[in-house]
Amino acid sequence: MRVLFLAPNSPKTGNCTTAERIRNHIVAAGHTCVLCDTREFSSASDVSSLMKQEPRFEAALAIHLFKGGRLLLDARVPFGVVFGGTDVNEDVKDEHKRAVMEEVLHKARFAVAFTDKLKERAEELLVCESKKIYVQPQGIETRVASHFSWSDFLHSTGVRTKQEENLRVFLLVCGLRRVKDPLYLLEVFAEWHNQNPLVALIIIGPKIDPVFTAEVEESVKRSVGVYLAADLSQEELHAAMQKSFALVNSSLSEGMSAAILEAMDLGLPVLARDVPGNAAIVEHEVTGLLYSSPQEFVSMSRKLLDDHELQERLVRNGKNYITTCHNPMKERISYQKLVETLH
């Protein structure tokens, strides 16, 4: 079967990583799967025209009901969709977008939600058939680059310290766009760094929104203890995560943060902003720490620095959670079964 797969596909983002992984699952089942960026199409008619070209597509899949699913409404082939956090956290607030998403759900053979909470929220906010929505958490696999130099990475960000071995890096991994809110902790972290020069916050991720990226760059330049790193390959990023003290998430909303899950897999404590998408995968003081304000973040971070038993517990439980709930082979089997329903 020849499958068209539409996804927001900015390089080195969580969406891109997720799409590539799902595509690999489909290909492993013997299908042809062509992955296209939703930004390449302005309307459903563009996709409809593509579907008519030879060799023809027999089925389709999309990540995000609005960004991707709306482009399949005229495709005239069976299709499935995967919920993005934006669908139920942001787009559902817009009447037009909500109506489009409900039409997508009506026409889709199936929809995938990453968590039970995401499914429940979709059922609460959208008119949909519950039996169509399957819950399948993301499968997580991490690969660490063997050639990565931690010292070179620190120097490239502008970090300068004679006590590199004692430096505690809090790594905030996100694409630079407003919903990720990377400046949320900037002021309190700078104050903390003035008190303790051996803590540093490094923001790293692709430049998705040029206007907002410029705002972030300017804010970081004026700050102390907070640095901006050029984005890395996934293997290099995993190596940087492994060398850091903790992974930070400060998003205004999340579907399921791949960076949080990857950090758990790599044995890194997680400090995540207490929003529904994060609370669905981080159990406070069990698999990570959830904070509700910048001040609470600093308080929890100080505790984490001093409490080795807490560090070890979060790392151990986080790794166990990934092994139990985010098995990539279970994810593969689920998607392969769902794609078979598109025949």
Is residue 10 over pLDDT 70? no
Of the chain, the percentage scoring pLDDT greater than 70 comes to: 99
Mean pLDDT of the 54-81 span: 95
Q: Among the residues of 108-254, which ranges form H helices? A: 116-125, 150-157, 186-195, 210-221, 234-243
What's residue 90's pLDDT?
86
Per-residue exposure over 208-221, b if at least 16 CB sit within 10 Å of its own CB, e if not: beeebbeebeebbe
pLDDT in tens, 194-224: 999 999 999 999 998 999 999 999 999 999 9
Instruction: List the Cα angle 194/197/202 in 5-degree steps.
Output: 100
pLDDT classification of 11: cutoffs 50, 70, 90: low
Domains of the chain in sequence order: 2-139+327-340 (3.40.50.2000), 150-325 (3.40.50.2000)
Separation between Cα atoms, residue 22 and residue 26, nearest integer Å: 6
> If we measure between CA atoms, which residue out of 112, 130, 144 comes closest to residue 26?
112
Separation between Cα atoms, residue 262 and residue 18, nearest integer Å: 12
Amino acid, single-letter form, for residue 65: L
What's residue 165's pLDDT?
85
Total Cβ atoms within 10 A of residue 11: 12
Instruction: Tokens for 171, please give them.
Output: 């790594």
What are the backbone dihedrals phi and psi of residue 222, each rounded to the nearest 5 degrees, phi first? -85, -5
Q: Which residue has the tokens 């700078």?
A: 190
Residue 160 or 41, more confident? 41
pLDDT in tens, 233-256: 999 999 999 999 999 999 998 888
CA 32 to chain CA centroid, nearest Å: 25
Is residue 318 over pLDDT 90? yes
> If we measure between CA atoms, which residue out of 230, 219, 153, 163 comes closest to residue 190?
219
For residues 149 and 258, is the Cβ–Cβ distance under 8 A?
Answer: no
